[in-house]
């Protein structure tokens, strides 16, 4: 299957070639795709959950485990800061925000700062790595962080490039994942998606998953799955219990686009394979 231009633009610049010449491997085996999706099944590990941010797009369901989190890093704001405002009002958490200058939110308070960067896997031009950004702006080098990241497909190589030591400083990560249909491309699966999920899931538990209804579903044989997925990750050492699977929509969930029906994920089917 063809790899979207938004993925290829990022990967080609770093020598990860997903052109047609690199695609003789064809489709990722069905069993490997299902195995990866099964690992994304959300679980509750004993924490109460709350919704942070907007009522529709830009709102996320997270574990209420904020005591000791001092700073939020929020790349890709698109001019909004509902999430960061909530963190300030309820938890007095300072937020660092980055995006292009034309996306700078208006009326930021004293507990938010903005940098005109794009987050990426290397620091050059208008791009900065997560590690360099943290080193540049962090206020407390011993505190836990939260990461809220929505950077339109750049999330994969950006977080692969981050050290496990750095990622472990984030107690909670809320991330929007794009172009998940491309995991059917075996080369992309092996070079990008599997390394990405292997790295994150070695440090974090999946505590919430919500389909963004902006872009519909993709299908592989009898299984359908959203193209765009909101995922909440919670560091494994914060578990309060062994964990129970969450197979249905949460009462805290809301469609990203209010004029379209909510998409659901059949976790029971995925886990029965």
Flag whether pLDDT at 18 surpasses 80.
no
Neighbour tally for 56: CB within 10 Å:
13
Closest CA to 10 of 120, 96, 107, 134: 120
Q: pLDDT digits over 141-200, tens only?
A: 778 999 999 998 999 999 999 999 999 999 999 999 999 999 999 989 999 999 999 999
Please state the rounded mean pLDDT for residues 55-84: 92
Could you state, in order of their start, the residue ranges of all structural domains in the chain?
5-271
Please state the rounded mean pLDDT for residues 100-126: 93
DSSP-derived letter for residue 81 is -
pLDDT confidence of residue 10: 52
Q: Label residue 56 by pLDDT band (50, 70, 90).
A: confident
Flag whether pLDDT at 138 surpasses 90.
no
Distance CA 97, CA 75 (A): 6
pLDDT confidence of residue 54: 84
Strand-pairing partners, residue 191, are none
Average per-residue pLDDT in the chain? 91
Torsions phi, psi of 238, nearest 5?
-95, 5
Identify the residue with better confidence: 22 or 247: 247
The CATH code belonging to domain 5-271 is: 3.40.50
Neighbour tally for 80: CB within 10 Å:
17
Please state the rounded mean pLDDT for residues 40-66: 95
Is-contact 65 47, C-beta < 8 A?
A: yes
Please state the rounded mean pLDDT for residues 34-51: 98
Q: Label residue 14 by pLDDT band (50, 70, 90).
A: very low
Angle ∠(33,38,47) on CA atoms, nearest 5: 150
Is-contact 77 97, C-beta < 8 A?
A: yes
Flag whether pLDDT at 23 surpasses 90.
no
Q: Where are the alpha helices (DSSP H) in 42-111?
A: 82-91
Distance CA 238, CA 62 (A): 13
């Amino acid at each position: 299957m063809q790899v979207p231009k938004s993925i290829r633009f990022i990967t080609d610049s770093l020598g990860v070639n997903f052109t047609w010449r690199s695609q003789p491997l064809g489709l990722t085996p069905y069993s490997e795709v299902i195995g990866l999706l099964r690992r994304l099944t959300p679980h509750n590990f004993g924490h109460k959950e709350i919704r942070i941010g907007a009522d529709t797009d830009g709102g996320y369901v997270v574990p209420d485990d904020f005591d000791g989190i001092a700073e939020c890093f929020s790349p890709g704001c698109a001019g909004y800061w509902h999430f960061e405002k909530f963190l300030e009002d309820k938890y007095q958490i300072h937020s660092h925000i980055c995006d292009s200058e034309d996306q700078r939110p208006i009326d930021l308070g004293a507990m938010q700062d903005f940098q005109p960067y794009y987050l990426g896997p290397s620091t050059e031009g208008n791009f900065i790595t997560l590690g360099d950004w943290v080193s540049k702006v962090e206020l407390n080098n011993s505190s836990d962080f939260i990461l809220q990241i929505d950077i339109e497909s750049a999330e994969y190589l950006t977080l692969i490039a981050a050290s496990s030591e750095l990622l472990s400083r984030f107690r909670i990560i809320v991330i929007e994942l794009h172009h998940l249909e491309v995991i059917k491309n075996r080369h992309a699966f092996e070079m990008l998606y599997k390394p990405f999920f292997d790295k994150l899931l070695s440090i974090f538990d999946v505590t919430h998953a919500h389909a963004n209804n902006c872009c519909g579903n993709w299908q592989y044989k009898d299984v359908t799955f959203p193209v765009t997925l909101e995922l909440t990750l919670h560091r494994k050492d914060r578990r309060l219990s062994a964990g129970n699977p969450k197979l249905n929509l949460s009462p805290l969930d809301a469609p990203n686009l209010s004029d379209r029906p909510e998409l659901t994920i059949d976790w029971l089917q995925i886990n029965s394979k």
